[in-house]
Structure formats: C-alpha cells, structure tokens
Structure 1
Amino acid sequence: MADAGTLTRADIAEAINRHVGLSRADASAMIESILEHVIDALVAGENVKISGFGTFVLRDKAQRIGRNPKTGVEVPITPRRVLTFRASQGLRHKVK
C-alpha cells in the first residue's frame, strides 16, 4: 500500500494484477471504468448498491437556519445534496 492506512487505485490495480493476472494497465483501466459507472449513476441521482459492500445514498437536504458557533449569529444554510455511505452488514461485521 502507498501509505499506512490508505488504499489507492494503484494498490487495487496491483492486487488485481497479482491475483487475477491482468496487466497493470488493464487492471487500472477496469478500475477507472467501474468508478466512472459509479460516478455517472450518482450524478444522475441514482443510489449505488454494491452487494456485500454497501450503498452510496444521495439525500437532498432542505434549507435550514444554522448558527455561527463563535458569534451566535443565525445564518441560512442553502439546500444541498449530500452523499452518504451505508456499509453492508457483512462489511460492518468484518471491520469490527
């Protein structure tokens, strides 16, 4: 791995190269293609579920009033779309 605690695209491509036998270039292209499909689905407003791993969920948050913690002044927070990840039960069990 590139950094203790960080898994990179290159690390995944290397693992695919070792375990499956694809060239590093083909493994890297496959990873890029998968990530592009996930990104395209999220941009289109779809949730993405990867069985046994988890679900990327889009939520629209309405406008609300926030407060500056230093001054206490109320500030409107604009509506926005947020992306959350819910790990599958199997993943949560393995990470414990």
Structure 2
Amino acid sequence: MNKAQLIDAIAAEAKLTKADAKKALDAFIKTTSDALKKGDRVALVGFGSFSVAQRNARTGRNPQTGKPINIQAKKVVKFKAGSELSDKVQ
C-alpha cells in the first residue's frame, strides 16, 4: 500500500474527504517525525511504538570488492508492534 492508497483507505474508513484524510496523515507524519527528532518515543497503545536508537560505528565489507569499509555511527528509527497489531497480523 502506498501513500495515496492509504489516504483513500483512511478517507473511506473515517468518512472523510480525501483532502482531509491527506491533511490528517501529513499531520501525523510531521508530528511523529518532530517528536522522534527530539528523541521522544511515540507510543500508540495497541498499535505499536516508534523510538530512536543509536547505532554504533562499525567495520563493514564492500560486497563488490570485499575490501573493509568504515560505517559511521548514526541514529535509526525503530518500530515495535503492539500486541493488538501482532494478533491481527497472525
């Protein structure tokens, strides 16, 4: 499902116009991104939680040449599914 399909599904489920569904989705994405950028955790009970973790620097290997390369440390976004979401997927 891409963003346009998700907007259509939200509009149909919530009985909103597509424009309102797009505004709601864009607001959710922006708010969640801003919170994660500050280092906050975003938890949606039953759905899951988004958090930021620090990934340490490490040595990797170039798959084409086999030569070792240095991979810099960086922050990554993690998602942990909630119990309700996990139950629905199974």
TM over 0.5: same fold? yes
CA distance in 1 between counterparts of 2:2 and 2:65 reads: 41
Shift of 1:69: 5.5
Match of 2:37 in 1: 43
Q: Number of residues paired by the alignment?
A: 90
Name which of 4, 14, 17 aligns with 2:11. 17
- Cα RMSD of the aligned pairs, angstroms, is 2.1
Match of 2:77 in 1: 83
CA distance in 1 between counterparts of 2:3 and 2:67 reads: 43
CA distance in 2 between counterparts of 1:75 and 1:63 reads: 11
The structure with higher relative contact order (CA 8 Å, sep 6+) is: 2
CA offsets per residue over residues 2-27 of structure 1, 9 Å max, x none? xxxxx223223222332332211111
Match of 1:3 in 2: none
Structure 2 unaligned regions, length at least 5: none
Distance 1:21 1:79, change over 3 A: same
Match of 1:65 in 2: 59
- % identical equivalent positions: 33
Report the AA paired with residue 43 of structure 1. K
